[in-house]
Amino acid sequence: MAEDIAIAYGSPLVVAAVLAIPFWRMLGRVGLNPYWTVLLVAPVIGVVMVLAILAFGPWPLVEGRATIARRPARGRPARATALPAPARPWGEPPRPAPNAAAPQPSAPQPARATGAPRHSWRRAGTVVRRRRD
């Protein structure tokens, strides 16, 4: 009886262990946190959750950061061919209208480092590991 229980509940863990290595690599490859693989310990729901994270999460290392804002909220994802990497992936600052008055310097704007991306899925302080090319 105890062996039966061990086999019955051990086999999902074996499947999870076999799936863990490729999912770990895929998540790290697209720029997501590879520790999402831990979800695989849940027998069926875990695989669905990891697949959903891969399918809907941002892929900064493959698609670039621009796809986070560019991808349509609903429907099919944009094809990878239609996503050329722009020179400034975080987007151009909004231009003032030609007839608009000059903006009044009302309050001191908080200085943001040039080149810092506006959107980031990572928590502050996370070290982004770049792929070696």
Partner 1 sequence: MDVLDRLDEQVLDAVPLAVIGAVLVLVLWLCARILRRAGIPGWLALLVLIPGWNLVAVWALAFLPWPAELRRGRPGRRD
Binding site for partner 1 (CB under 8 A): 3-4, 7-8, 11, 18-19, 21-23, 25-26, 29, 44, 47-48, 51-52, 54-56, 59, 61-64, 76-77, 79-81, 85, 131-133
Q: Whole-angstrom Cα distance, residue 36 to residue 29?
A: 13
CB of residue 29 to partner 1, shortest distance in Å: 7
Q: How far is the CB of 62 from partner 1 (least distance, A)?
A: 5
- Residue closer to partner 1, measured from CB, 92 or 133: 133
Place of tokens 């090319």: 133
